[in-house]
Amino acid sequence: PIPPPLRDRMEVIDLAGYTEEEKLEIAKRYLVPRQIEHNGLVPSKIEFTEDALRLLVEGYTREAGVRNLEREIGAACRKVARRVAEGEHVRKVNVTGPRVRELLGRPHFQPEARRRTQQAGVATGLAWTPVGGDVLFIEAAAMPGKGKLTVTGQLGDVMKESAQAALSWVRGHAQLEQDWFAEHDLHLHVPAGAVPKDGPSAGVTMATALISLVYGRPVRDDTAMTGEITLTGQVLPIGGLKEKALAAQRAGITRVIAPRRNEPDLEDIPEHLRQDLEFVWAAEVEEVLDAALDGDGGFAGGRDRGMLGAETQPDR
């Protein structure tokens, strides 16, 4: 690591990850020609279609750069080169989407948001990492107990404090039966427990997961969110919005809920990415819940209708 006094005298340049369209262009112009040459082929023997390259980007890699993308292209080229050497292919090979699956097997990554958020109590969040943005799922569960909060998933101190702040806000605003929180233990879990996680930007996601749990209403599967929460219900600005938006795009998410004070950061996001994503700006937690919860009426409508009936009790 760089000593802090020396780092203080240096200018730090942050490089954001590539968008999907940028990866496609890099693959077309540089990665494919290089791997064709490195694997003993010539352009007259093999060609990658745009659908094939898009599948490689979406289904076989999850990265801010293009290193693993080049590896997958190289693996496909080597398999084609072997077949050419064995005389299986005489004519030019067009590598299409189905041909990619034939050469490399089934995709390594599948969109998880739709499957993971089918059940109430699961919300999709966005995180920043040194190698780009990432999508994380926050799960909430309740069971009979004495009001204890358990937080797991190798979380740092700041993230644990965000969980406590989210629970305090939910306890103060969720219209539940008297003493419900005193008679139930709550558990918040962030999967991928081997990966350390920290930071305050998951606060609104935790609050959404808890409200989804106690009201029995799933979170929209096309929506991810980020933002710090306060005890008064304000949504504070966060960093790395561009990286988080790129992570949402890679995961197939089409709506992003972000703090209203981050709206000027929209200028840093490429125009084509802005067209693919719908940004919902929120200044209060209620606005996040109105946009995130599935069904009509948002948070207020579900609360006013008394969504927490006996049939939706989370400790059922």
List active site positions.
Answer: 201, 244
pLDDT digit string (tens) for 46-96? 999 999 999 999 889 888 889 999 999 999 999 999 999 998 887 899 999
The answer for residues whose C-beta is within 8 angstroms of residue 254's C-beta and 6 or more apart is 222, 276, 277, 278
For 133, the 3-state DSSP assignment is: strand
Predicted pLDDT at 238: 93
- 130 falls in which pLDDT band (50, 70, 90)? low
CATH T-level fold of 113-312: Ribosomal Protein S5; domain 2 (3.30.230)
Q: Establish whether domains 20-104 and 113-312 are of one fold.
A: no
Which amino acid is located at 224 in the chain? A
- 305 falls in which pLDDT band (50, 70, 90)? very low
First to last CA, the chain: 51
- 138 falls in which pLDDT band (50, 70, 90)? very high
pTM: 0.77
| Residue given tokens 């292209």 in the structure block | 73
pLDDT digit string (tens) for 253-299? 999 999 999 999 999 888 888 888 999 999 999 999 999 998 765 56
- 198 falls in which pLDDT band (50, 70, 90)? confident
Q: Please answer whether residues 163 and 152 qualify as being in contact, where contact means their C-beta atoms are separated by less than 8 angstroms.
A: no
Please state which CATH class domain 20-104 belongs to: mainly alpha
Predicted pLDDT at 296: 62
Domain boundaries, the chain: 20-104, 113-312
Predicted pLDDT at 298: 56
- Return the minimum-mean-pLDDT range out of 64-68, 108-112, 132-136, 281-285: 108-112
User: Average of pLDDT values for 212-223?
Assistant: 92
H helices of the chain, in order, are: 4-8, 20-26, 32-38, 50-59, 67-85, 97-104, 113-116, 157-173, 203-215, 241-250, 271-276, 285-292, 298-304
User: Which of the pair, 275 or 38, is modelled with greater confidence?
Assistant: 38
Predicted pLDDT at 316: 37
